[in-house]
């Protein structure tokens, strides 16, 4: 039985190996490992691709969020609203920047922050909102920007999973005041190590991020503020530029696979397939279903050599390190319920149609066997 894995980076590499090795050789020849034209070119490519005026390469997606918050001037006592149903970095960076994460529950269909619940979380201390475009589908940005404009809040997109996603014909990365991308190897555009990017249309904000990325240096050895080493290395930029050429084709394939799963699973009432947003296009970083039989289904797929993932098993308000925020079980019921029922299926662009059919077939088989047994109380 051929395994179906959550990722196949070796297969992706085999498609681009020659161009990647040429790019690496160029960097080796230049012996220029930090900054330089490869980083500047990659920044230009991301700016052109997203339509953002500025793109500033950063060493990781996490540091992109941290430096964006620093550039906003988030400091002690400032509150930043975000979702509890995201990767840890979103909220971790709010705390590291000196702010306080304030969580707002998600929408049950999109898994993104629910704009209808944001207003109640705004206080006189609120400075920013970080919506996350989870799994590659943009948050409801019109509603979020409306609320932010009325309350004078900055909006920073956590677009770590959303390079290539669109919303109202605009790209993720241009939908708020600033945006943060990740090029972690598992992402739709994944490097051969860590990488990230901040995008913005705001000139002053871009200048600040560029300075903060280099220890707050405003002139050589002159530091107007305290930043950090948030730079992307040259080798990553050269590799990512090569991979970027394949992003559209890979995202298209992810969409085809998602559509196939949607069709193949449409008649299984115990499975909820991902909500497809009419106002934008997901880049399907993940394809996650919901089911009450999540754990037995996952076991079944494992025995069939089919990889799965759970993003995310513990919402952030229930993480031990955030106990001091004072949240408890039951505070964000949609996030908590989703965490118990969600299961990500393989959706990477190297999957064949036969792989997708086999995954869907195994799910249908499990669910049709599991449901009557549960309904009659038999084990």
Using the rule CB under 6 A, give the single segment among 42-50, 110-118, 158-166, 202-210 that binds ligand PLP. 158-166
Task: Establish if 191 lies at the interface with ligand PLP (CB under 6 A).
Answer: no
Cβ nearer to ligand PLP, comparing 113 with 289:
113
What 3 state SS string does 198-241 have?
EEECCHHHHHHHHHHHECCEEECCEECCCCCECCCEHHHHHHHH
Is residue 232 within 8 Å of residue 196, measured between CB atoms? yes
Residues 77-116 as x/- pattern, contact with ligand PLP by CB under 6 A = ---------xx-xx--------------------------
- Count Cβ atoms within 10 A of the Cβ of residue 238 and give its class: 0-12 exposed, 13-18 middle, 19 or more buried: buried
Cβ nearer to ligand PLP, comparing 87 with 250:
87
Number of residues that bind ligand PLP (CB under 6 A): 15
Instruction: Write the CA distances from 174 to 71, 138, 166, 177, 273, integer angstroms.
Output: 17, 11, 10, 7, 28
Q: What are phi and psi of 5, to 5 degrees?
A: -100, 165
Locate 166 and state its tokens: 């669109």
- The nearest distance, CB 362 to ligand PLP, in angstroms, is 27
Cβ nearer to ligand PLP, comparing 90 with 282:
90
Cβ nearer to ligand PLP, comparing 229 with 305:
229
Task: Establish if 196 lies at the interface with ligand PLP (CB under 6 A).
Answer: yes
How far, in Å, CA of 3 to CA of 351, rounded? 11
Task: Establish if 132 lies at the interface with ligand PLP (CB under 6 A).
Answer: yes
Q: Which of 46, 153, 160, 343 binds ligand PLP (CB under 6 A)?
A: 160
Burial 10-26 (b: 16+ CB within 10 A, else e): eebeeeeeeebeebeee
Task: Establish if 157 lies at the interface with ligand PLP (CB under 6 A).
Answer: no
Task: Establish if 184 lies at the interface with ligand PLP (CB under 6 A).
Answer: yes
Task: Establish if 240 lies at the interface with ligand PLP (CB under 6 A).
Answer: no
- The nearest distance, CB 47 to ligand PLP, in angstroms, is 19
How far, in Å, CA of 368 to CA of 363, rounded? 9
Write out the residues near ligand PLP by the rule CB under 6 A: 60-62, 86-87, 89-90, 132, 158, 160-161, 182, 184, 194, 196
């Amino acid at each position: 039985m051929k395994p179906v894995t959550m990722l196949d980076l070796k297969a992706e590499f085999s498609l681009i190996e020659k161009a990647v090795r040429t790019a690496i050789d160029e960097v080796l020849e230049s012996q220029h490992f930090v900054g330089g034209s490869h980083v500047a070119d990659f920044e230009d490519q991301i700016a052109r691709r997203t339509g953002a005026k500025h793109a500033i390469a950063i060493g990781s997606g996490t540091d992109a969020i941290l430096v964006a918050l620093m550039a906003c001037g988030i400091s002690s006592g400032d509150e930043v609203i975000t979702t509890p149903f995201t990767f840890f970095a979103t909220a971790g960076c709010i705390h590291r920047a000196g702010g306080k994460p304030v969580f707002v529950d998600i929408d049950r269909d999109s898994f993104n922050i629910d704009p209808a619940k944001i207003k109640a979380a705004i206080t006189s201390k609120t400075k920013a909102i970080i919506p996350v475009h989870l799994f590659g589908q943009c948050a409801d940005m019109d509603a979020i920007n409306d609320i932010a404009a009325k309350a004078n809040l900055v909006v920073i997109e956590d677009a770590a999973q959303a390079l290539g996603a669109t919303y109202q014909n605009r790209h993720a990365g241009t939908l708020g005041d600033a945006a943060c991308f990740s090029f972690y190897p598992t992402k739709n555009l994944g490097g051969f190590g860590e990488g990230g990017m901040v995008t913005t249309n705001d000139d002053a904000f871009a200048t600040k991020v560029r300075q903060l990325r280099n220890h707050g240096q405003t002139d050589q050895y002159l530091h107007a503020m305290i930043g950090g080493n948030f730079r992307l290395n040259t080798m990553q930029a050269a590799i990512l530029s090569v991979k970027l050429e394949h992003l559209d084709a890979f995202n298209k394939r992810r969409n085809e696979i998602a559509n196939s799963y949607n069709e193949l699973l449409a008649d299984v009432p115990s499975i909820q397939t991902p909500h497809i947003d009419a106002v934008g296009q997901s880049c399907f970083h993940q394809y996650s279903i919901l089911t009450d039989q999540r754990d037995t289904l996952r076991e079944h797929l494992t025995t069939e050599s089919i990889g799965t993932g759970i993003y995310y098993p513990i919402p952030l308000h229930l993480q031990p390190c955030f106990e001091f925020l004072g949240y408890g079980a039951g505070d964000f019921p949609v996030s908590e319920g989703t965490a118990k029922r969600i299961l990500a299926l393989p959706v990477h662009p190297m999957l064949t149609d036969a792989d997708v059919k086999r995954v869907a077939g195994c799910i249908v088989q499990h669910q049709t066997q599991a449901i009557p047994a549960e309904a009659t109380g038999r084990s």
